[in-house]
Amino acid sequence: MKSESIVLRHGKTVKIDLALSEDCRVQEVIISGDFFIYPEESLEELEERLKGCGESVCIEDAFKTLESSTLLGVNLEDVKRRIVEIVEKCTGVRRGGAD
pTM: 0.84
Positive or negative, the CA dihedral 60, 61, 67, 69 is negative
Q: Residue 37 domain-assigned?
A: yes
Greater model confidence, 32 or 41: 41
Backbone angles phi, psi at 68, to 5 degrees: -100, 10
**Three-class SS of residue 32?**
strand
7: β partners: 15
- Convert the pLDDT of each residue in 49-85 to its tens digit: 999 999 999 999 999 999 999 988 888 888 899 999 9
Number of structural domains, the chain? 1
Q: How far is CA 45 from CA 42, 49, 69, in A?
A: 5, 6, 11
Q: Residue 60 domain-assigned?
A: yes
Q: Residue 99 domain-assigned?
A: no
Q: Residue 31 domain-assigned?
A: yes
Domain span at residue 41? 2-94
DSSP type of residue 73: S
Q: How confident is the model at residue 94 (pLDDT cuts 50, 70, 90)?
A: low
